[in-house]
Structure 1
Amino acid sequence: MTLERWRLLLGEAGGACLGGGRLDDESAGRDAALEWLYGRDEDLRERGVRQSGNGPSNLTTFDWLDDITRLFPKETVERLQRDAVERYEIHDLVTDPDVLARIEPNPALLKAVLHTKHLMNPQVLRLARRLVEQVVRELMNKLATEVRTAFSGTKLRRPGRLRVARNFDMTRTLRANLGHYQPDTRKVVIENPLFFTRTRRHLEQWQVILLVDQSGSMTDSVIHSAVTAACLWGLPGVRTHLVAFDTNVVDLTSDVDDPVELLMKVQLGGGTDIARAAAYGAGLVDRPRRAIVVLISDFYEGGDAHRLVRIVRGLVEQGSKVLGLAALDSQANPDYDRELAQRLADAGASVGAMTPGELAAFVAEHVGR
């Protein structure tokens, strides 16, 4: 089985892996499907991989999709689809109505729809919207649980009766049981564990202002920003804004409660003027000490970097919390301009990358104070 996998990985160039033997019918089908996709890659051919030299396959995109769905496990199918739309820009995966009606929605296809929706006629756009709705609904369901957990209550330092692990008050418990210290075992015997009570106290309203870079490299962050904003919308103590930017700034706050509609309005690509977006966000702040400004960008500034640093420093000095996130997605593993990010950190911003759940926890921590 391992040798057969090497043969499938290398294409015909790996024929020696089978000692001159042939692939069975099912494996030959897998090989043909892989060849249809990766056989078009010049770099792979130069490295001796996937160099069958048999010319273009007669498979259509629809046939190929049907084959990989039948021949590969779900995780592999999603990877092949992602490579098709992102690496090889096979747009008919999301612009052909027959394919759209057949395809199983996943995050890679959502990204492809956002990149190619300007190519779609109204009929295809309606089908694509259904794909967007399903993927967004799955993301919303997952993140909503994390947000509810983050906002489930603030620990108040008074005794509580609910004896569950998350409410355990270690400091007070140790202090109350020091008399039971055993020198021979060097352990404290806990005879009377103490717990916090978790209650929701009155929350003063905070503004959460999400400024998201809609350049092509930030697609994952755009998607997760829309979903995060929708989950934060309407929570007690939180007033959410969502602003998308490239060289222009578009306030999408009116659509925050409908992330599908919001994403269908986003225009990916183009230049970047981060300073302009930061200035707009600063103008939205009503109560500086109750504002969290989240700047989501790869920090490759096409505008005035000096102005951007000045605006961030001004926000920090007036008491606002400024987060500079090079990624807001499920991986939080960004590629970004480290020099400008460091300058923003030196100006007082907290700079890094977060998952949506981590951002929700950050907001909940400050709102609950």
Structure 2
Amino acid sequence: MVNKLRWGVVATGGIADVVTGDLRLLPDVDVLAVSSRALPKAEEFAAKHGIARPYGDYRDLLADPDVDVVYVATPHVQHHEVTRAALEAGKHVLCEKPATLTPAALRDVVDLARERGLFLMEAIWTRFNPLIVELGELVRAGVIGEVRSVRADFGFPLPHDPAHRLWNRELGGGSLFDLGIYPVSFAHLLLGEPDVVHAHGSLVGGVDAEIGVLLGYEGGAHALVGSSLRSPLKDGAVVYGTEGLVELPEALYNPSRMIVNGVERRHEQEGAGYVPQLREVVRRVRAGETESPSMTLDESLAIMRTLTRAAEQVGVDYAGVEAG
């Protein structure tokens, strides 16, 4: 491996644009390559971000021997296909959430990464947000006592358009896997994988337009989480303990302030907020590690099981949709 860790970006959409901007803030990273289904888009993206090698097919990017790490930012339905191909090509992988749409597909790439000794992580950037990291430390230290209840939501009204990826089942649409993964992951962080999952919501064209989920734990602890494409949910969270509470009064996925037992804490964001997650990937890959202890593959599998249990109860089924 050369001095700089060389990255390839698969896809040129909005999330790829923002994350690539944050990648370029890291001094030990070279964003070497980018691919798009249309070469002119890759060339335009490359020109904007100073990327040397644009490709018109992700397979060409994966065949580039100089690429060390691949960031997968395709639509959800292609995550499994591209991640598997990247691992087969010997590349380390950071894949946007959800890493796949089914437990079987996720198990497939997890097993492959472990077999090949390659780094793989689902890009749930919230886990690396400094305030979320601090919250975890405070909870473990008993600052609010034992966590008994979590409330977390993420949602916004989006006019129905069957062609939009969030309303299109064939593109892995729906609120739960795109938005609800944040509150579900947050509940997992604090309480672990639930014993009981009860979900209720509404379907439009085979995708969940809105969903509320009760996650139950032995002894009575619980989490109430929700996501919606119909309503402007309060995008925050509250963690209730036996001796206090923590409030996250703004977007759960990337908060800049929280209130711990009435006292506000803040942090200054690096770049667009993805820098801590990207720095973690670089650190682990350079150390020869294949997972991040902050976002393990077993944790991704557990979150996927919870999402799937909830989705099935409202009639969401991605069978036959996922590529690869």
TM-score of the aligned structures, taking structure 2 as reference length: 0.37
Relative to total residues, which structure has the larger helix share, 1 or 2? 1
Q: Work out which of the two has the higher radius of gyration on C-alpha atoms and give 1 or 2.
A: 1
Q: Which has the higher contact order (CA 8 A, sep 6+)?
A: 2
**Structure with a larger share of its residues in strand:** 2
